[in-house]
Structure 1
Amino acid sequence: MGGRWITALGGLALIGAAPAADRVTVVPVAIGGQSGRALPMHIEGRVERTADGDRRQWPGTYWEAAFQGAGVSLRVGEGDVILKVSVDGVPTATLVKPKPGNYAIDGLTSGRHVVRVDVASESQAGATVFGGLYATGMTRPLPAPTRAHRIELIGDSHTVGYGNTATTQDCTEAQVWATTDTAQGLPAVLARRFDADYQVNAISGRGVVRNYNGFAADTLPTAYPFVLFDKASRYAPAGWQPQLIVIALGTNDFSTPLHAGEPWATRDALHAAYQARYTAFVRQLRAQNPRAHILLWATDMASGEIADQAGRVAATLRAAGDRRVTFLPVPGLAFSGCHSHPSLADDQRIADRLATYVDAHPGLWAGR
Structure 2
Amino acid sequence: MVHYLPTEPEILILGRTRKKNPLPLFWTASGLEFRTDGSELWFELESDYESMEEWIRIEVDGFCLQRLIVPKGRSRLCAFRGFPKGTRRTVRLLKEVQPMLDERRYLLVHGLECDGKLYPPLPKKCRIEFVGDSLSAGVGLAGAPSLVDAGAAVYGLDGNYALLTAEYFQADFRILAKCGWGAYCSCDNDLVHIMPKYYEQVCGVLTGEHNRELGAFEENDFSGWQPDLVVINLGSNDGFAVDRPAWTDPETGFSQRMVSCPYGGLEEQSALRFEAAVKDFLKKLRRLNPNACLLWAYGMCEHRMSPYLEAAVRDYRKESGDEKADFLLLPATNPLWVGSENHPGKKEHELAAKVLIERVKEYEI
Aligned to 1:102: 76
Aligned to 1:223: 198
Aligned to 1:37: 4
Residue 35 of structure 1 deviates from its aligned partner by 7.0
The reply on whether 1:325 has 2:325 as its aligned counterpart is yes
SS at match of 1:255: helix
Deviations 1:150-176 (CA, angstroms, capped at 9, x unpaired): 1111111111111223322660143xx
> CA 1:134/1:280 → structure 2, altered by over 3 Å: closer, same or farther?
same
Residue 198 of structure 1 deviates from its aligned partner by 0.9
Pairing 1:276-315 to 2, within 5 Å after superposition = 276-299=276-299, 304-315=303-314
Of residues 106, 114, 120 in structure 2, which corresponds to 1:136?
Answer: 114
Aligned to 2:262: none
Provide the aligned C-alpha RMSD in A. Answer: 2.4
Residue 237 of structure 1 deviates from its aligned partner by 3.7
Residue 114 of structure 1 deviates from its aligned partner by 2.1
CA contact 1:36–1:134 (8 Å) conserved in 2: yes
Residue 113 of structure 1 deviates from its aligned partner by 2.2
Identity %: 21
SS at match of 2:275: helix
TM-score by length of 1: 0.81
Residue 347 of structure 1 deviates from its aligned partner by 0.6
CA contact 1:209–1:253 (8 Å) conserved in 2: yes
Extract unaligned runs of 5+ from structure 2.
208-215, 249-254, 260-266
SS at match of 2:357: helix
SS at match of 2:77: strand
SS at match of 1:121: coil
Of residues 90, 94, 119 in structure 2, which corresponds to 1:114?
Answer: 90
Letter matched to residue 358 of structure 1:
V
> CA 1:108/1:249 → structure 2, altered by over 3 Å: closer, same or farther?
same
TM-score by length of 2: 0.81
CA distance in 1, matches of 2:107, 2:341: 29
Residue 110 of structure 1 deviates from its aligned partner by 0.6
> CA 1:300/1:306 → structure 2, altered by over 3 Å: closer, same or farther?
farther
Residue 256 of structure 1 deviates from its aligned partner by 3.2
Aligned to 1:242: 227
Aligned to 2:218: 233
Letter matched to residue 348 of structure 2:
D
CA distance in 2, matches of 1:182, 1:164: 7
CA distance in 1, matches of 2:96, 2:245: 34
CA contact 2:154–2:341 (8 Å) conserved in 1: no
CA contact 2:241–2:257 (8 Å) conserved in 1: no
Deviations 1:257-283 (CA, angstroms, capped at 9, x unpaired): 263453258532221111112111111
Residue 44 of structure 1 deviates from its aligned partner by 1.5
CA distance in 1, matches of 2:85, 2:138: 36
